[in-house]
Chain A
């Protein structure tokens, strides 16, 4: 078992982001997470990345409970997990080559990391990852000069360069055009299946999720709505998942409420 979530709950201040989530994912599985915005997809991925601790329930990753480990042991565990952020957190002045190499900081000693700043240690490795995603020509560009879609692909490249055992992706293709999105998802899936990496990706495009991932988990209001093979996801399930009572029944405008009827 690579990932085991048991009754996991998470609060962001007043908002209950996740509530009693049970989820088990085997090694090498490829899972898509879908659901309406604000349903808790990002929070779930943050839990799986051991980026934040759950308020209730437990998280077990790669056979270890990250929040019962000491801080250094947790950092070692985190180095085996990569999270692709929707808005890649890359400093605008950093060069792409440095941003991608930073993926392996968890595996390198601090000294090697610092020397790498003076001279990039593995330019061919970075070029290979970037060319798989079609941005090899941006190797020495600054991150601030890239478009949203290019930046997202650099973010993906960093996660792939990390060579993780669990690859998590939070809306990894949201800023790309359909063709690029298709290609990038293919690259992610290919990378995962070639190396037996567990891949969990949240997507807002349902058809991409169904086309690329064997297993689909629907999340609604911080809870798992359904969890089944992609072939078994019916349109009724999807309608129920995305049904929006606030939008479906627009509240009747009631100016009559302000009307004061004089009573005698």
Chain B
């Protein structure tokens, strides 16, 4: 089939990998009981069609817009307050967990000693614990504990996101050029100073970009948590869906789109300032 001189040595491995991927995916599709056919059955199609046809025009009467505005503000407030609380925990934890600030590693070419590892382990474990439970589960727990309302959403975001932010921050600190910080440590500087003078200047753009992206995720998460009673846009959309008010759902979906677009613009602006 292939002439000997035109044969690519990577061709066979690639073909095998592709077959392997299909072989692994097929059972996954069976197990998840994915059957796109149900979307095309006649009565399902009619049901969806009715609901979607109510989308246009989106609801825009004065009362509803006022309600939408309040719900949007509440969603933004939940996401922002949750992020702020998360940062309070994530920043110190990332500094503790990161290998970038190890005095020992600075004088051994980046290799950690036994104790450096041992001390960083519990912090990493805490971060894993914090992010291992999805925010929706925390929200359900907190709705039980503190009652319906945004407080549950704020606490749920704070807990899960501190784990994610802490882990990724620590890894960003390790991924930038370590020589400036090591040089400062070797000139007697304290570790916190070495961080601010040696690592932060290189890491700032990536930190900002990740933080804004996480804020965007927090907005989405706070919407989802609204469905379990944590207030905001999610709760509104849940109500509208139950009442089959397609026009209201459409307005709220447009609002999501705008929020995510705004977050994207903010991230771009900040990165532009820092890069």
- Interface, chain A (partner B; CB < 8 A): 12, 49-53, 71, 75-83, 85, 89-94, 98, 102-103, 105-108, 110, 113-114, 117, 162
Contact = CB atoms under 8 A, between A and B. Distances in A.
Q: Which of A51, A52, A83 has the most CB of B within 10 A?
A: A51
B184 interface: yes
B179 A79 contact: no
A106 B187 CA distance: 6
B108 interface: yes
A52 B192 contact: no
Contacts of B182: 51, 89
B189 interface: yes
A105 B197 contact: yes
Nearest to B197: A102
Given A89-B182, A89-B183, A93-B202, A105 B190 contact: yes
Contact of B197 (A53, A79, A117): A117
Contacts of A89: 177, 179-180, 182-183, 198
9 contacts: A51-B182, A75-B190, A78-B186, A79-B188, A92-B202, A98-B197, A105-B187, A105-B194, A110-B190
B201 A114 contact: no
Contact of A82 (B107, B187, B198): B187
Interface residues of B, number: 27
A222 B192 CA distance: 35
B196 interface: yes
A168 B158 CA distance: 48
Contacts of A71: 103
Interface of B: 103, 106-109, 177, 179-180, 182-190, 192-194, 196-198, 201-202, 204, 274
A52 B201 contact: no
B267 to A, nearest CB: 18
B192 A53 contact: no
Contacts of B108: 52-53
Given A52-B107, A82-B187, A105 B180 contact: no
Contacts of A81: 187-188
A208 B60 CA distance: 80
Q: Which of B108, B182, B184 has the most CB of A within 10 A?
A: B184
B182 to A, nearest CB: 7
Nearest to B176: A91
Given A75-B103, A91-B177, A98-B197, 7 more contacts: A50-B186, A51-B107, A51-B182, A91-B201, A92-B201, A93-B201, A117-B197
B50 to A, nearest CB: 56
B158 to A, nearest CB: 26
Q: Which of B107, B108, B187, B204 has the most CB of A within 10 A?
A: B187
Contacts of B103: 71, 75
Nearest to A52: B107
B119 to A, nearest CB: 13
A91 B188 contact: no
B188 A77 contact: yes
A198 to B, nearest CB: 16
B231 to A, nearest CB: 38
Contacts of A94: 180, 197, 201
Contact of B187 (A110, A117, A162): A162
The 8 A-B pairs with the shortest beta carbon distances in the complex, nearest first, are: A106-B188, A79-B188, A105-B189, A91-B201, A78-B188, A89-B179, A113-B193, A89-B183
Q: Which of B184, B192, B194, B201 has the most CB of A within 10 A?
A: B201
A49 B188 CA distance: 10
Given A77-B188, A82-B187, A106-B189, A91 B202 contact: yes
B270 to A, nearest CB: 14
A36 to B, nearest CB: 23
B123 to A, nearest CB: 19
A71 B186 CA distance: 11
Nearest to B201: A91
A12 B186 CA distance: 18
Contacts of A51: 106-107, 182, 186
Contact of A103 (B109, B187, B204): B187
Given A52-B108, A91-B202, A93-B204, A113 B187 contact: no
A50 B106 CA distance: 11
Contacts of B180: 89-91, 94
